[in-house]
Structure 1
Amino acid sequence: MTLSSQEANARGLAALKAGDAAAAARLFEQAAAADPQAGSLWRNLAHAHRVLGDDPAERRALESALERDQRDISALVRLAESHERNGASRDAMIRWSAVIQLGEQIAAPAPALVEILDHARAYCRTQQAAIARQVESAFGARRAGLEQTPGRRAGAFLDHVLGQRRIYPNQCAGLYYPFLPADEFFDDRHFPWFEALAARTPAIRAELEALLGDPGEDLRPYVRMDKGVSGSQWDALNDNLDWSACFLWEYGRPNQPVLDRCPETAAALAAVPGARIPGRAPSAFFSMLRPHTRIPPHTGVTNSRAIIHLPLIVPPDCGFRVGGETREWVEGRPFAFDDTIEHEAWNDSSVMRAVLIFDVWNPHLTEEEQGIVADYCRMIDSVTDSSAPDAAASAAGAL
């Protein structure tokens, strides 16, 4: 006698209750054959096979349920549990990850589902950590043997594929130069003058300390928003000396009184092969961050430049993140980064932090390309001055 799917399912449930899992499995197979689109019937069949200890048959039934509905979270959970029980860690991670993805879309999950999601996350973390250890064992020595840039890129690649690192794109508020590498930190080899700059650190720091002893009006808040502008992440720092600056050069204009007070710093900057664009570059300043102050994540103006930091006063508990890489400043050790990649800084210590900051050309630009950028800026500035300032300025962006 041929049973309907409902009749076969009801008899299968009765057989399960009576302890006859084999009969239940036969009845659920009939039910699923009669109504193959009903995921609940495949789940019932999987449960009967689980009671029988037939793991492969259980998984086949659950996969049949998922063929009908990939969002069947009950089937996903039970399939993940099956793979986990049988030590198939890769398949278990794939299924638990799908459970997490679906579960996070549920606004108010039931307590039982919350417990399942907690287990899924813990299992995935454990497996990811095990994979990361294997990757480090297999590739750690190879990475260490690479030069600075390929070593950093290889590390970012491995961290990214392991789900441990986000890759950040350029976000330029002004001029964007296409096809330059979107690298967070530039290789030191691009700046052969770093060693000479580092050697001047004690003298530059001494000049800064003397300047801070009597700064006058040259020390000012770094963030100075137009009146009536508010509601942004910069409100807390607006007109606030928690993040202050003392400019030696600002948009290509020298601050001669400060340069005169800081001859060693002025000489160090003069020795750097930086951009010279009237009204735009260079900019160079001492940047001071008071204790317990944070600079929120933000991006800069143009990827045609590199930003140099020369750390001068660095207490513990200070940090600097560009994209997915966080560094500690080390006094006297300069580095360069692309500020059009999201970055932030903090001083969680009880002492002021101070860094000399200035800009130079992006080292991936050729001299010819530097000339094109500089000449474009000069041309557009002359247009801005003589004809349509608002439209030209908007089109040009800023360097």
Structure 2
Amino acid sequence: MIGPVEIDRWGQAGMSALRAQDFVTARECFEAIVAAGGADAAVWLALSMACKGAGDRAAELAAVTQLLDRDPDNIRANLIKADALLHLGSKRAAMGFYQHVETLVPDLADVPTPIATELQRARQDHARLKQEMDAHLQRALAAAGFNPATSSRRFSDSLDLLSGRKQRYVSTPRAYFFPELPVIEFFDRQRFDWLEALEAATDDICEELVPILADGRHFSPYIEVEAEKSAHVAGSSRGNGVSAPEDWTAAYLIRDGKVCEPLASQCPKTMAALANVPLETIQGRAPFALFSRLTPGAWIMPHTGFLNTRLVCHLPLLVPDGCWFRVGNQVRLWERGRAWVFDDTIEHEARNQGTGTRVVLIFNIWHPDLTAEERELVAALMTGVDQFEQVSNAGRLGFQ
């Protein structure tokens, strides 16, 4: 029976041999510990280093795998395994371990310089592997007839996600999630036959907007509106971040399902254009329609909306140069009179880097993939959520 004293002696001898770069002796000492059943994480790590020094990369890989079975997030072990796999020609497997190391240490400033240097080298190796793989896949796909300009956009997106050129975004509503709805950043215009008629009214809407902007009294910080909503909606978090509340203001034509006077009466052509749109309808909540004003330099920080049962439409009215909007991976420039429909439960942000004021007409519509019954049930559910507090308060008042 080999006891701890003998195991400790082998360990000390192995480390001395390792420091002296006598890798054969070091390997023999550590393998003796393994055979005696005394190997811990440190022994497996030392054995992998001895095997590498001895030129046996396969044995190095086997030893470090034993360590990772015991400590999957060991940074050094993951790095050793990635390097060993790369040396043995297993490029795809090596990429997985390099990626895990980057996940474990996202910021190299958080680690000591010697380790950071090694991790930076590993990141360069990983980047090179990704470039090699991407080039290989592009050649293979070209041979199969793939053309990024004409082939399936969805397939092109999948390729960008695989290569890391794009990030995967999902629907993350802050209040209510309806399952099995597709996660689409910007929806295909062809799905909305009312868009062209709305866009055709752009000049009329802008004509009504000009005196409202000059007056200014109808605009108030949008961030305050969001704060009111988040206070009583289950599952919500902070309101939408903006550089300053006065930088992002709203003038409501319809709010919480009610027409806002006198502004609506000042905009008859705008209201007529909205009458042909399938607006979301929920008692006490929707529809809503507003002029959204963003001042020069303003930034609406990344955020998500409340419900994925609705989509949001923007009709750009005043668009100076330097204004952009991002939903998920897609960044677009607003173009006067060119509307789009997007899912606001996907992370999105907006910025006005121009010198003039940006104004967009914004409203919500039902998600087109909801059935008529589902729309009615969602509306009833949201109304019930709003009524719950009222009913509860009324009950408490009755017992006072």
Q: TM-score, normalised by structure 2?
A: 0.76
For the Cα contact (< 8 Å) 1:243–1:287, is it kept in 2? yes
Q: Give the aligned partner of residue 198 of structure 1.
A: 199
1:249 alignment partner in structure 2: 254
* Superimposed CA distance per residue, residues 96-155 of structure 1 (whole angstroms, 9 cap, x where no aligned partner): 3344445569996332222222223333334334444555565694675567xxx34x45
Q: Secondary structure at the match of 1:223?
A: helix
Q: Residues 313 and 135 of structure 1: is their aligned pair in 2 closer, same or farther, counting only changes over 3 Å?
A: farther
Letter in 1 for 2:192: F
Match of 1:354?
359
CA contact (8 A) 1:168 1:341 kept: yes
Are the equivalent residues in 2 in contact too, given 1:312–1:355 (CA < 8 A)?
yes
- The alpha-carbon deviation at position 317 of structure 1 amounts to 2.8
Evaluate the alpha carbon distance shift between residue 53 and residue 344 of structure 1 in structure 2; reply closer, same or farther with a 3 A threshold. Answer: same
* 3-state SS of paired residue (1:388): helix
Answer with 349-358 or 133-142: which moved more.
133-142
- What is the total number of aligned residue pairs between the two structures? 381
Distance in structure 2 (CA, Å) of the matches to 1:190 and 1:391: 44
User: How far has the Cα of 1:363 moved from its partner?
Assistant: 0.9
Q: Which residue pairs with 1:388 in the alignment?
A: 391
Distance 1:21 1:330, change over 3 A: same
Does residue 92 of structure 2 align to residue 117 of structure 1?
no
How far the C-alpha of 1:364 sits from its partner, in A, is 1.1
Cα offset, 1:361, TM superposition: 1.7
Q: Which runs of 5+ in 1 are unaligned?
A: 393-399
1:78 aligns with 2:80: yes
**Residue 344 (structure 1) aligns with:** 349
Please name the residue that 2:92 is paired with. 90
Q: What is aligned with 1:317?
A: 322
* Contact 1:5-1:32 at 8 Å conserved across structures: no
Q: Which moved more, 1:251-260 or 1:104-113?
A: 104-113
Q: Which residue of 1 aligns with 2:398?
A: none
Q: How many angstroms apart in 2 are the aligned matches of 1:206 and 1:133? A: 52
Change (3 A) 1:329 1:138: farther
Identity of aligned residues (%): 35
Deviation, 1:370, is 3.1
The secondary structure found in structure 2 opposite 1:308 is strand
Asked if 1 retains the 8 angstrom alpha-carbon contact of 2:169 and 2:346, the reply is no
The one-letter code matched in structure 2 to 1:180 is L
Secondary structure class of the residue paired with 2:269: helix
Deviation at 1:368, TM superposition (A): 3.6
Counterpart of 2:340?
335
Q: Is the 8 A contact 1:309 1:336 kept in 2?
A: yes
SS of corresponding position for 2:187: coil
Distance 1:139 1:312, change over 3 A: farther
1:395 alignment counterpart: none
TM-score normalised over the length of structure 1: 0.76
- Once the two structures are overlaid, the 10-residue window that deviates more, 81-90 or 305-314, is 81-90
Task: Check if 1:298 corresponds to 2:300.
Answer: no
Distance in 2 separating the partners of 1:318 and 1:232: 25
CA shift digits 1:169-218 (9 cap, x unpaired): 33243x65444334333332220121222233233333323432334x22
- The match for 2:39 is 37
Tell whether the 8 Å contact from 2:240 to 2:303 is kept in structure 1 after alignment.
no
Q: Secondary structure at the match of 1:310?
A: strand
Give 1:191's aligned amino acid. Answer: F
Shift of 1:159: 4.4
**Residues of 1 paired with 2:356 and 2:368: CA distance?**
34
What SS does structure 1 have at the residue aligned with 2:198? helix
Stretch of structure 1 that moved more, 184-193 or 104-113: 104-113
Alpha carbons of structure 1 residues 323 and 99: separation in structure 2 relative to 1, 3 Å: closer
Q: Hey, what's the Cα distance between the residues in 2 that align with 1:64 and 1:375? A: 57
- Which residue type is aligned with residue 39 of structure 2? Q
Q: Work out whether residues 241 and 302 of structure 2, in 8 Å CA contact, stay in contact via their aligned partners in 1.
A: no
Q: 1:188 to 1:55 in 2, by over 3 A?
A: same
Q: Which residue of 1 aligns with 2:220?
A: 220
In 1, the alpha carbon distance for the partners of 2:21 and 2:249 equals 77
Give how far 1:356 is off: 0.9
The answer to whether the 8 A contact 2:302-2:348 is kept is: yes
- Which stretch has the larger CA shift, 45-54 or 341-350? 45-54
Structure 2 residue 185 is matched with structure 1 residue 184: yes
Structure 2 gap ranges (5+): 232-236, 396-400
Greater displacement, 229-238 / 328-337: 229-238
Write out per-residue CA displacement over residues 238-295 of structure 1, whole angstroms, 9 at most, x where no aligned residue.
7x43212222222232235434443432332122233455643321111110011112
For 2:269, the aligned partner's letter is E
- Backbone CA RMSD of aligned residues: 4.1
Partner of 1:271: 276
**Partner Cα distance (1:224, 1:263) in 2:** 27
1:304–1:325 CA distance, 2 compared to 1 (3 A): same
269-278 vs 245-254, which deviates more?
269-278
